[in-house]
Structure 1
Amino acid sequence: MFQAFLVPILPVILIAALGALLSRKTEWLNNPSLGAMVTNIGLPALLLHSLLSMEMDLSGMGRILLAMVATLALSALITWPVLRLCGQSVRRYLSVLVNPNTGNLGIPVSYALLGEDALAVAVVVSSVVTISHFTLGVSVMSGSFAPRQMLRNAPALALVLAAVLLGFEVQPPEFVMRTLDMVGGMTLPIMLLLLGRSLAALKLGRSTQWTPLLLMSAYRPLVGLVSALAVIWLLGLNELDARVLMIQAVMPVAVISYILTVRYEGPTERVAGLILLSMPASFVVVGILAHFWL
């Protein structure tokens, strides 16, 4: 079982490790435009190509969107009172514990474990979480919400375009699909390299309190697991959609949560610790899922 899980996951780990090494030894990954390029060009191209290649119908995409929205909503409803009961700040930790790293980790892991058929579903799920970061995340951490931010969210706009094309049954020409495939092909490796760079740049202080971090790190994949199981049961998802939703829901704390925490002057050291500690917790849960279900 361990070997069957490790073989597809190992490339993900190695590429992220390469990103961490390159960030330490070179300046190659330090250009902030690299992340913007992947988010605004690579990920939308990957989303469009994956959805249109699968010939997913509009109802299928809507079902996936609904499933992830419901999973996040249920996770938030569970996490809110848990944080209050534990004396932790809802403002600082609600979005951090609810929104998993479905982008630069969840998509590659879904692809590695389930193959190319899972790619479109994984990207749709990741788009929902991206939107959640800039709605739930920004509004909770900052105390305000600016809907106009979504007009500049390229993955969300690509999702709308894909819905329009699927709704009107429009299939782009072959050269357009090949172009989307080539541009989208850069996304997964660059996302993993940037994940490694981000992890290498995290800073932990001596004042970091490890016991609550360990508990919250274990909580992150568990609340995702419970929420995803409930949604899968309620909506009756097909096997592929259910597997991708499960993998994405148990991913660790997202790096973008750290970025938002820095922006809104939150507990940066503790969130950095959560990112690092929740990764092995998530991989343990994914390994168990791979043995019994995937």
Structure 2
Amino acid sequence: MGVLLALANVIVPVLVVAGTGFLLGRIFPLDPSTISKISLYGLTPALCLATLLTTQVSGQVGVTLVAAYVVVCLLGAGIGGLLTPRVPGPTRRGVMVSLAISNSGNMGLPIALFALGQAGFEQSVLIFLASVVLGFIVGPLLFGAGGGVGKAVIGLFKLPAIWAIVLALVMRLFGLQLPTGVMRGVEMLSGATLPMVLLALGIQLGATSRVTVNRPVITASLLRVFGMPVLSLGIGLLFGLRGVPLQALVLSGAMPTAVNAFLLALEYKGDVRTVADTVTITTLLSFASAAVVTALLPFVPQ
């Protein structure tokens, strides 16, 4: 009964919006990359700015939550590498990146809002911000990007969302506020973010060609959507998280591999096929895993 209720109240709204994007992507020759750029460079910075300026998450809880999330992702990547010892290096690194970079934005934020309310959504925004930073550092390093950490950091600071985070933190530090008109505009953009990213996700799936299922893809997919929630629970408890922050962390573990993992594989000439197939399979599986995890969240220690 709990799973059915989670499906009805949490997953169905996400399916409706993403399904609309899927149909549009099948019917019309839409460009997923253009829509993704609108979300990444236009709407997501507004979401980060508005949320960080208004969030009630305490600094200590936020730092602990982000630290636990980073540890979960790094451990997941390490486990993925250990469980694929006999595959070629590029494929193994593709599995590791698929586990390290979760879709805490397109999937994670809408589901967190429906499952945990505004408080859980604010916690999940912190996780999303951590996933962006982590993804654009760990991904290039694992794929062997030229320039190492330095190039990864330079690329990171080209993202408007990072500057929105910096601006919001500075404003909170000095007790500053945006002018009312500007803040209302930022809030309008922020409110458009979740529908747009779900539409982009659906369009991306609608444009996906045939998926190849092999052992590395199966390993990465099952670990991503079924193993990571368990790992998230264990690490969260170890870090002393309880209640909504722990629930947000566990729910983030049920999210699929992010499309950014595929983009990074493409950019740095990694195993694009393995990562792309993992993105597709984990996205489909995550609807079921998110429903199950959502139904079990009331049993998470308070």
Whether these two folds match at TM > 0.5 is: yes
> Does residue 283 of structure 1 match 2:297?
no
Residues 82-231 of structure 1 mapped to structure 2, 5 A cutoff: 82-84=83-85, 89-144=91-146, 145=148, 146=151, 147-204=153-210, 208-231=212-235
Deviations 1:20-46 (A, max 9, x none): 11122224x427443222212211211
CA distance in 2: counterparts of 1:193 and 1:246, whole angstroms: 25
TM-score, scaled relative to structure 2: 0.86
CA distance in 2: counterparts of 1:81 and 1:19, whole angstroms: 37
Are the counterparts in 1 of residues 11 and 291 from structure 2 also a CA contact under 8 Å?
Answer: no
- What secondary structure sits across from 1:265 in the alignment? coil
CA distance in 2: counterparts of 1:85 and 1:269, whole angstroms: 18
CA distance in 2: counterparts of 1:133 and 1:232, whole angstroms: 20
Q: CA deviation at 1:273?
A: 2.3
Q: Which amino acid aligns with 1:199?
A: L
Are the counterparts in 2 of residues 213 and 273 from structure 1 also a CA contact under 8 Å?
Answer: yes
Q: CA deviation at 1:107?
A: 1.0
Q: What is the CA RMSD across the aligned residues, in angstroms?
A: 2.3
Of 248, 252, 258 in structure 2, the residue corresponding to residue 254 of structure 1 is 258
Match of 2:21 in 1: 19
Q: Which amino acid aligns with 1:161?
A: L
CA distance in 1: counterparts of 2:47 and 2:201, whole angstroms: 18
Are the counterparts in 1 of residues 98 and 258 from structure 2 also a CA contact under 8 Å?
Answer: yes
Are the counterparts in 2 of residues 102 and 126 from structure 1 also a CA contact under 8 Å?
Answer: yes
Q: CA deviation at 1:245?
A: 1.2
Q: CA deviation at 1:156?
A: 2.2
CA distance in 2: counterparts of 1:161 and 1:58, whole angstroms: 16
Q: CA deviation at 1:193?
A: 0.8
Match of 2:269 in 1: 265
Are the counterparts in 2 of residues 35 and 194 from structure 1 also a CA contact under 8 Å?
Answer: yes
> Does residue 274 of structure 1 match 2:298?
no
Are the counterparts in 2 of residues 9 and 113 from structure 1 also a CA contact under 8 Å?
Answer: no
Aligned residues: 291
Can you give the 5+ residue segments of structure 1 that lack an aligned partner in the other structure?
none
Q: CA deviation at 1:191?
A: 0.4
Are the counterparts in 1 of residues 102 and 256 from structure 2 also a CA contact under 8 Å?
Answer: yes
TM-score, scaled relative to structure 1: 0.88
Can you give the 5+ residue segments of structure 2 that lack an aligned partner in the other structure?
none
Residues 2-81 of structure 1 mapped to structure 2, 5 A cutoff: 2-7=3-8, 8-27=10-29, 29-30=30-31, 32-81=33-82
Q: CA deviation at 1:209?
A: 4.1
Q: CA deviation at 1:185?
A: 0.9
Residues 54 and 266 from structure 1, CA distance in 2 versus in 1: closer, same or farther, beyond 3 angstroms? closer
Deviations 1:185-244 (A, max 9, x none): 111111011111111222236xx3445433331111234223311221122124111111
Are the counterparts in 1 of residues 104 and 128 from structure 2 also a CA contact under 8 Å?
Answer: yes
CA distance in 2: counterparts of 1:114 and 1:84, whole angstroms: 38
- What secondary structure sits across from 2:157 in the alignment? helix
Are the counterparts in 1 of residues 32 and 203 from structure 2 also a CA contact under 8 Å?
Answer: no
Q: CA deviation at 1:102?
A: 0.9
CA distance in 2: counterparts of 1:60 and 1:2, whole angstroms: 29
Q: Single out whichever of 273-282 and 82-91 deviates more from structure 2.
A: 82-91
Of 283, 296, 299 in structure 2, the residue corresponding to residue 292 of structure 1 is 296
Are the counterparts in 2 of residues 48 and 162 from structure 1 also a CA contact under 8 Å?
Answer: yes
Residues 26 and 249 from structure 1, CA distance in 2 versus in 1: closer, same or farther, beyond 3 angstroms? same
Q: CA deviation at 1:170?
A: 3.1
